[in-house]
Amino acid sequence: MEFDLHRPYQLNPAVALRPEPFGALAYHFGNRRLSFLKTPRLVTVVRLLESQASAAAALNAAGVSARERARYAAALAALAHSEVIDAR
């Protein structure tokens, strides 16, 4: 499924998200892939997904600026592609 900013998402239950000084590491226990989230704000977005009505709403709730929106959307799309987050 294509990533869609207007859909609701969540952190994949098979993924362990570990905070780091730079952001976080996300390890998918199923496919053994390790992803590197490079900003603390991106980690905030990912943690907010579950409680927000859409990915776009999570971006807003995390305080992503208009200028940064495209970058964060691209990051979420990459995370969806790696199955770190999935549509709920």
Partner 1 sequence: MTEDTVILEDEDLEDLVESDELLVEEVSIDGMCGVY
Partner 2 sequence: MLAEAAGPGTLTERFKRGLAAPICLTWELTYACNLQCVHCLSSSGRRDPRELSTAECMRVVDELERMQVFYANVGGGEPTLRPDFWDLLDYSVAHHVGVKFSTNGVRLDRRAAQRLARADYVDVQISIDGATADVNDAIRGAGSFAMARRAMEALAEAGFGEFTISIVVTRHNVSQLDEFKRIADSCGARLRVTRLRPSGRGADSWAELHPTAAQQRRLYRWLSERPDVLTGDSFFHLSALGAPLPGLNLCGAGRVVCLIDPVGDVYACPFVLHEQFRAGNVREPGGFTRLWRESELLLRLREPAAAGACASCGQYDACQGGCMAAKFFTGLPLDGPDPECVLGHGERALAAVCLPDRPPPGPGHSRGPVFLGQIAARAAT
Member of 14, 53, 78, 87 binding partner 1 (CB under 8 A):
78
Tell me which DSSP letter residue 26 carries. Answer: E
**CB closer to partner 1, 8 vs 40:** 40
Nearest to 59 by CA among 38, 44, 77, 80: 44
37 binds, among partner 2, partner 1, none (CB under 5 to 8 A by kind): partner 1
Residue closer to partner 2 by CB (options 35, 52) is 35
Q: Rounded CA gap, 32 and 47, in Å? A: 21
Minimum CB–partner distance for residue 27 and partner 1 (Å): 7
Q: What value, to the nearest 5°, has the Cα angle with vertex 24 and ends 57 and 26?
A: 90
Q: Provide the minimum distance between the beta carbon of 33 and partner 2 in the complex, in angstroms, as a whole number.
A: 11
Write phi, then psi, for 26 (nearest 5 degrees): -120, 120
22 scored as a contact of partner 1 (CB under 8 A): yes
